[in-house]
Chain A
Amino acid sequence: MNSGVKTISCLHTIQSCTISLGLSIIDHFIWIHYFPKKKVFTDIIRLKQESWCCRWYWRCCHWYVIRTHIAADSHQSTLGLLGLVFVGSPTTTVANARQEVDVDETSVFQHVLMSWMHVFLSLPVQEALSNLEDFDKTCLELALQGVSSIVQQEWGSACPCQLVLVTDGALGIGRGTLRHSLATLKQRGEDKKFPLPFPFPCKLYIMCISNAEELQTTDAMENLEQLLTLSGGEGQIFTMEGPLCLKSVQAMFGKLIEQAYMPFHAVLRCGHLTSDVQVFPRPEPVTLDEEVDPVPKHVLTDLEIVGFIEIADIASPPVLSRHLVLPIAVNKADEVGAGTTDEMEEDTSTNQMAGKSPNFCVLLHGSLKVEGMVALVQLGPEWFGMLYSQADSKKKSNLMMSLFEPGPEPLPWLGKVSQLGPISDAPENPYGEDDSKSPFPLQPKSKRSYAQNVTVWIKASGLQTDVQKILRNARKLPEKTQTFYKELNRLRKAALAFGFWELLKGVAELLERECTLLPDSAHPDAAFQLSHAAQQLKLASTGDSQYAGFEHNITPMLTDFSGGGGGSDRM
């Protein structure tokens, strides 16, 4: 407690030197910005350990330390550059985070430093930041830029983040400060745009180690509010209540945790088989059409399995997000920021016990994996998702849940989910007795253009190919009588629809010419068919409703050359 108070008090005595630290929790992104003393990192870690009360995240986080600035001793300029720290990958997530919570802090600290140095050297933003050395201020903008580039580079633009900015509310003066950034917001070119809003979904939480009254005396609050608006409005500004002490800081972070880091607990059901689970990361509410249906949809805490589908049938469906489904022991004190050591120990034993009692998730996972299937799960009214086994390269696998877009028909090839029923209701097993067939995918009511023989003459080559096809078949009459008429009718239809009567006349002339060019050896039927076809095209080109009907087809002329080669080919 004393050390905590000391930490805080030292935060306030040294105001010239600023450091920003980012910490991301799997997909959440936390960024601390506060004032260090000499032992910068140990202080940060202590602060985190003491005030965050949430060791839960300790081992399952991605950490980024972004240091905007060192002022007092600018000789340390190498460290003064924008840097970042990445603490390992979440080798141990939520479920066993608690078991491994008592890690040696110093080793983690070393890991932090090493990773930091490693990433630091490969930082592309390094160059851009060298001008930072000239200023001794709280360069929030550069830090935000750093956040933006790190997240995009590492996580892409679809990964939702939570950014936590910890500050004492003293925003500094001059260029590069938030005040300056906001003032010059509108005078920037494309290349120097303010990093907010980020191109990825982001919630911004601003933690002020300072109380509201204090902030109101300057324009700090105003600026921070503007920052929040700029980021898209998602998030919140927290200020301290009561005296400036560790307890108040803890209380403030407690609120943040409550607000942003509550684990999502649900019950997974398959008939009477159930399991209490944590869905990680927390599924975000989804708004489909802000105009017609502006109420965001939330995932229910009762996840009911509807049935099962083969992986090949569900066929890599598009999903909104993916989540780990971790079975939990039900009496675990998972409520708000569980913290004390006693609880932790209790949990560990509960965990060990829970490991030995059968859990439906494990059974489900095992069978899904073995059978190569997914479970269709209902997330809410007209909202579905799928459960499946997700394996990583190291033979480890997990139960994963993906969310489909809300709606009655998330995947066209499955049709309406409400119309999916048990195979036992079907007159015969749609999968066949030996699993040789499948009722999926569903065929759409109408074929797409590429799945039918459409006629497009936008390019001359399209038209030429179609005409050549007819001529090629014309020369092989009577063997190709059927294909000849098929192609001829296709061309005729398109020409009629496009009002391209000139083409009909032209092709008729071509056919007549072919007729005259027939060799003596040609079958007599060829000449008959050619002149018949030519005549029919000419009739169609007059627009006479008797001959120019769209649904009308030119049929082969009925000839009788018994024993002739084309006999079998005739329609």
Chain B
Amino acid sequence: MKMFSVSHKTVFVVDHCPYMTESSRQQIECDMLTKSRAQGVIPLAPVSKSLWTCAVECSMEYCRILFDIYPAKKLVSYIVSDSEFHILNSWRQEDQSVQELMTALAAVGPPNPREDPECCSILHGLVAAVESLCKITEYQHEARTALVDLADRVVNRGRIICLTNAKSDTHVRMLEDCVLETIQEQNKLAAGSDRLMPIQECELVLVHIYPQGDDTLVSDRPKKEISSILSSEVHSVRAGRHLASKLNVLVQQHFDLASTTITNIPMKEEQHANTSANYDVELLHHRDAHMEFIKSGDLHMAGSTSRDSGLKETVTLKWCTPRTNSVELHYCTGAYRISPVEVNSRPSSCLTNFLLNGRSVLLEQPRKSGSKVISHMLSCHGGEIFLHMLNSTRSTLEDPPSISEGCGGRVTDYRITDFGEFMRENRLTPFADISVDAAGRPPVERAKAQLERHTRYWPMIISQTTIFNMQAVVPLANLIVKDSMTEDDVLTCQKTVYNLVDMERKNDPLPISTVGSRGKGPKRDEQYRIMWNELETLVKTHVGMSERHQQVLECISACRSKPPEEEERKKRGRKREDKEDKSEKNGKELEEKVWTQDSDRLKVAVDREKEDQNQSEVIKDSPDSPEPFNKKPRLTTEELQPLEKSKGPVSLLTIWTNRITQANSRKHQEFAGRINSVNNKAELYQHLKDENGRLDTGTCRHLGDGLAAGGCADTGVHLGSNTAVGAYNTSITAPTRNESLAFINIYSDNIKTQNFQFYLLPSLIV
């Protein structure tokens, strides 16, 4: 349906002249005496509704159905007409409710029978109705404003439903002429106004109401074009239930509604709690909910039957007792608001209350073949009941390949649980209508911004990350993604970092993945190096957010201070990682492949050589310790060049030694101390001398780093993290196989002067 079709605006014009007080002569017995009390009591005389009452309640029923199904954008203006017109409500959305109208109608009251009939006329109301139709609605205004230059696309159409008691066909023609004239006049007026729009199309529905038992003075007439703008139809109806069913048919026609009868609804009987009878409930909804039936020509087959009016058809769908609490995502091709035909009947209210309580009901379409096809579902969302149209025909997407067969399908260690947690954190919630933040972003943009922040560093698979596999990192990882951090948050992050330092000091194992790597895992200090690097990567992506984010990075950098070469190496490593990323993305793995093969060959060679050396240098990890994570040999040409450029004939021994040295040098970095040592004696932490004599945990780590870089795997660095005062005499050994590579004594005679002595002893094989 077009937004601004004739149904966008409906004006009810209801006759409020004295003759409407006449009785409809349809009597209602409202004194239903029970048998036990029947004796000796004179029952109350039946009451009967006036023509006015009939007109009002039927028009209210029309509005009730309309507002149930179209809570917005289909507007009603209600006008009563006697010696003058009374507009009961405006086009404004907040005026569109049955309650509003009922209140206004109560204020109007029934027509005054003593009023002078000569002054009273429905014409006042009809003129007012045309004027009303010219008034722009908020939706029309909005659309016109949005379209600017194309504002003329917004068309002004409307419908007038006039409930009156006409005198004759001539009278009816007079009314039609009057409406046409008024439209022409008003259109001229509207052309020059901003708040008015000329009427392009108007449908006049005249309903002549007469008491039961009378002969009608007005004949029915189907819709007829009176002019290019105005069309008119006449319905001559007896008051009472005939009028009610007529307006019910009209509301269905006017708003493209259709009827569905839910059949076989089991309901407990009030009197017999143990038995349950089956009931039917008729619902109205947009006719698109029957689309599948209409198109397939199944409408009649689907059990549609004609109801009282003869005009109305209903499709019967069978209730299927709902399964309990199953949360399922049905393939639903449409959802349409419903309105029960008899809203306050017991079966209706039982059904609607059942649904309002949050249960859903599947509905079955009876088929000739007897096969069971679930075609619809009734479900309530926030106090509104919808008829969902479910797809019951074959899907073109049936039996698709599994996602595991496609790209990325063979990777098995996705961080599914972590991403689930991520999704929970990034769930959406509705915000009040005017809810922009300081930057003027609506909530949805803030949601996107949050996703952006949360994914700045988010490895997809477990083997790509260390920090996200560590419980200890969680507090920091959760806080660093925030767009603003509190002082407390920073403290928590710092605590996390200290905790990591502590872990490293205690030499706790890290959950470094072993997937995809060959041979034994990286040494523990290498693991920590990887971990610190990753943590830095994470924090660095957020460092621009605020000063406090910066503080966290500073804390990490301070706690993991390392020799400058280390830094250098890391940089190169990162570059390489970047390259890897890129090449992975582009699928151009050729270069990468070559590189990997090279390093693999190298590794194999190195391993073999080590074995040749009686395994003297190999320190085996325990079987539990993780395998190396992508060992990153130092492939720096400037370091290797001198070796390769040795001139002249060389002996086999030289070649062999060079090779070993070269291989070994790729494996580790020379001790800074050894390089700078004098007589194998090096002073440690010289750079700290110009500081204030604070030896923090980071410094101690430094020592560990140095050792790690030296290739003395699995060392225990027994240095207290809060080394304050005291002499250390620590032996760092690799005790497992009696193969001490180095025996290091660290003396701290006077901690305050930082006169550390680092004695490097050549390999002592005990």
A457 interfacial contact with B, CB 8 Å: yes
Point out which of A272, A315, A374, A450 has the most chain B C-beta atoms below 10 A from its C-beta: A450
Residues of B415-431 contacting chain A, CB below 8 A:
415-417, 419-420, 422-431
9 A-B pairs (CB sep. < 8 Å): A89-B398, A270-B451, A292-B4, A322-B397, A326-B407, A362-B406, A371-B424, A454-B64, A462-B345
**Pairwise interchain contact B71-A374, C-beta atoms closer than 8 A:** no
Residues of B within 8 A of A289 (CB): 2-3
**17 further interface pairs, Cβ-Cβ under 8 Å (given A291-B153, A413-B381):** A27-B396, A156-B295, A292-B143, A311-B329, A355-B408, A376-B428, A399-B403, A419-B431, A420-B444, A421-B435, A421-B446, A461-B345, A498-B53, A498-B57, A499-B111, A548-B106, A550-B103
A423 to B427, CA, bound (A): 6
Residue from A155, A397, A503 in contact with B30 in the complex, judged by beta carbons closer than 8 Å: A503
List, in ascending order, chain B residues with CB within 8 A of A422's CB: 426, 428-429, 443, 446-447, 450
Q: Which candidate, A237-245, A259-267, A463-471, is the interface stretch facing chain B?
A: A463-471
Instruction: Report how far A96 CA is from B428 CA in the complex, Å.
Output: 35
Q: Is the pair B381, A412 in contact by a Cβ cutoff of 8 Å?
A: yes
User: Whose C-beta in chain A lies nearest to the C-beta of B1?
Assistant: A289
Tell me the chain A residues, 309-332 only, with Cβ under 8 Å from chain B: 309-312, 314-319, 322-324, 326-331
Chain B, range 327-373, C-beta contacts under 8 Å to A: 327-335, 337, 339-340, 342-345, 348-349, 352, 356
Whether B389 and A318, one on each chain, are in contact in the complex, defined by CB atoms closer than 8 angstroms, is yes
Which chain A residues border B676 with CB–CB below 8 Å?
none
Q: What are the 3 closest A-B residue pairs judged by CB atoms, nearest first?
A: A359-B408, A421-B443, A156-B393
Tell whether A181 is near chain B: CB-to-CB under 8 Å: no
Specify the chain B residue showing the minimal Cβ separation from A320: B333
Contact B401 A398 (CB under 8 A): yes
* B107: interface (CB < 8 Å): yes
B653 to chain A, nearest CB (A): 44
Interchain CA distance A422-B446 in the complex, whole Å = 7
Within the complex, what minimum Cβ distance (angstroms) separates B406 from chain A? 4
- Given that A90-B399, A503-B47 are contacting pairs, would A291 and B295 also be in contact in the complex, using a CB cutoff of 8 Å? no
Verify if A567 is at the interface (C-beta below 8 Å from B): no
Is A109 among interface residues, defined by CB-CB distance under 8 A? no
Partner-binding segment picked from B205-213, B228-236, B251-259, B583-591: B583-591
Q: Which residue of A lies closest to B456 (CB)?
A: A272
Chain A 408-452: CB-based contact to B (< 8 A → 1; otherwise 0): 000111111111111111100011000100011111111111110
Q: When the two chains form their complex, are residues B403 and A496 in contact, meaning their CB atoms are under 8 A apart?
A: no
**Contact segment of A220-228, A249-257, A300-308:** A300-308
Is there an interface contact between A423 and B109, defined as CB atoms closer than 8 Å? no
The contact string, 1 if C-beta is below 8 Å from chain B, for chain A 502-517, is 1100110110010001
Whether B3 pairs with A458 at a CB distance below 8 angstroms is no
- CB of A215 within 8 Å of the partner chain: no
Asked if B102 is an interface residue, CB under 8 A from chain A, the answer is yes
Q: Is the CB of A360 within 8 A of B402?
A: no
- CB within 8 Å for A271 and B396 given contacts A359-B411, A467-B30: no
For residue A455, CB closer than 8 A to chain B, the reply is yes
- Residues in A whose Cβ lies below 8 Å from that of B442: 418-419, 421
Q: When the two chains form the complex, which single residue of A26, A95, A496, A502 contacts B48, counting CB atoms closer than 8 Å?
A: A502
How near does chain A come to B115, taking the closest CB pair, in angstroms? 13
- On whether the beta carbons of B106 and A493 are closer than 8 Å, the reply is yes
Please determine whether B430 and A439 come into contact, CB atoms closer than 8 angstroms.
yes
B residues less than 8 Å from A424 (CB atoms): 425, 450, 482
User: Do A398 and B400 have beta carbons less than 8 Å apart?
Assistant: yes
**Inter-subunit contact A356/B410 (CB<8 Å):** yes
Q: Which residues of B contact A (CB under 8 A)?
A: 2-4, 28-32, 37, 41, 44-45, 47-50, 52-53, 56-58, 60-61, 64, 67-68, 71, 97-98, 101-103, 105-111, 143, 147, 153-155, 241, 244, 291-292, 295-296, 327-335, 337, 339-340, 342-345, 348-349, 352, 356, 377, 379, 381-385, 388-389, 391-411, 414-417, 419-420, 422-433, 435, 437, 442-444, 446-448, 450-456, 458, 460-461, 464, 482, 584-589
Evaluate contact between A310 and B64: CB separation under 8 angstroms: no
With a cutoff of 8 Å between Cβ atoms, the chain B residues found around residue A494 in the complex are: 102
A517–B379 touching, CB < 8 Å: no
A465 to B352, CA, bound (A): 19
Of the listed stretches A110-118, A136-144, A346-354, A527-535, chain B binds A346-354
Chain B residue contacts of A95, Cβ below 8 A = 401, 405-407
Selected from A362, A425, A456, the residue in CB contact (under 8 A) with B443 is A425
| Residue of A92, A309, A415, A451 most packed against chain B (CB within 10 A) | A451
Q: In the complex, A360 Cα to B409 Cα: how many Å?
A: 10
Shortest CB–CB separation between residue B710 and chain A, in angstroms? 35
Contact of B396 among A159, A305, A329, A467 (CB under 8 A): A159
Contact of B332 among A199, A305, A316, A444 (CB under 8 A): A316
Q: Mark A88-125, 1 if CB is under 8 A from B, else 0.
A: 01111101100000000000000000000000000000
- Tell which of B4, B110, B241, B584 touches A499, judged by Cβ atoms closer than 8 Å: B110
Are A292 and B447 closer than 8 Å at their CB atoms? Answer: no
List, in ascending order, chain A residues with CB within 8 A of B417's CB: 367, 370
Confirm or deny: A551 has a beta carbon within 8 angstroms of a beta carbon on chain B: yes
**In the complex, which of the residues B111, B244, B335, B589 contacts A317, with contact meaning CB atoms closer than 8 Å?**
B335
In the complex, whether A173 has a CB less than 8 A from a CB of chain B is: no
- Beyond A415-B430, A417-B444, A431-B427, is A316–B57 a contact (Cβ under 8 Å)? no
Cβ A362 vs Cβ B107 within 8 A: no
- Assess the A543–B443 pair: CB atoms within 8 A: no
Task: Using A290-B2, A444-B382, A458-B241 as known contacts, say yes or no to A93 and B401 having CB atoms under 8 A apart.
Answer: yes
Residue of A at shortest CB range from B461?
A358
Q: Is A459 positioned at the interface, with any CB of B under 8 Å from its CB?
A: yes
A371/B420 contact (C-beta < 8 A), A447-B383, A450-B339, A464-B28 known: yes
Q: Is the CB of B71 within 8 A of A291?
A: no
Residues of A contacting B381 in the complex (Cβ-Cβ under 8 angstroms): 315, 411-413, 441
Contact B401 A355 (CB under 8 A): no
Chain A residues with CB below 8 A from B50, complex form: 499-500, 502
User: A440 to chain B: which residues have CB within 8 Å?
Assistant: 382, 430
List the A side residues contacting B403 at CB < 8 Å. 327, 361-362, 365, 397-399
The reply to whether A199 and B61 contact each other, CB–CB distance below 8 Å, is no
A368: interface (CB < 8 Å): yes
Cβ B408 vs Cβ A354 within 8 A:
yes
A363 near B460 with CB under 8 A, answer yes
| Cα A241 to Cα B440 with chains together (Å) | 57
Whole-angstrom distance from the CB of A26 to the nearest CB of chain B? 4
State the CA gap A425–B483 with chains docked (Å).
Answer: 11
- In the assembled complex, A565 has its CB within 8 A of some CB on chain B: no
B102 touches A550 (CB 8 A): yes
Q: Bound complex: CA of A192 vs CA of B103, how far in Å? A: 56
Q: B396 to chain A: which residues have CB within 8 Å?
A: 26-27, 62, 90, 155, 159, 281
Q: Which residues of A contact B431 (CB under 8 A)?
A: 419-421, 425-426
Interface membership of A396, Cβ < 8 A: yes
In the complex, A158 has a CB within 8 A of chain B: yes
Check A359/B456 contact, CB under 8 A, given A291-B3, A458-B244, A506-B47. no
Q: How far is the CA of A548 from the CA of B109 in the complex (A)?
A: 9
Please pick, from B32, B110, B295, the residue contacting A199 in the complex, using a CB distance under 8 A: B295
**Are B241 and A319 touching (Cβ within 8 A)?**
no
Q: Mark A375-406, 1 if CB is under 8 A from B, else 0.
A: 11000000000001010101111111010000
Contact of B335 among A318, A439, A445 (CB under 8 A): A318
A330-B585, A355-B410 known; A307 vs B447 contact (CB < 8 Å): yes
Docked CA distance A266–B418 (Å): 26
Given contacts A315-B381, A374-B329, contact A366 B295 (CB under 8 A): no
Contact residues in A for B382 (Cβ distance below 8 Å): 412-413, 440-444
State how many angstroms separate the Cβ of A300 from the closest Cβ of chain B: 14
Chain A residues whose C-beta falls within 8 Å of the C-beta of B388 in the assembled complex: 316, 318
Which residues on B sit within 8 Å (CB–CB) of A135? none
When the two chains form the complex, which single residue of A27, A358, A446, A455 contacts B97, counting CB atoms closer than 8 Å? A446
A270 touches which one: B379, B404, B455 (CB < 8 A)?
B455
Nearest-Cβ distance from residue A557 to partner chain B, whole angstroms: 23
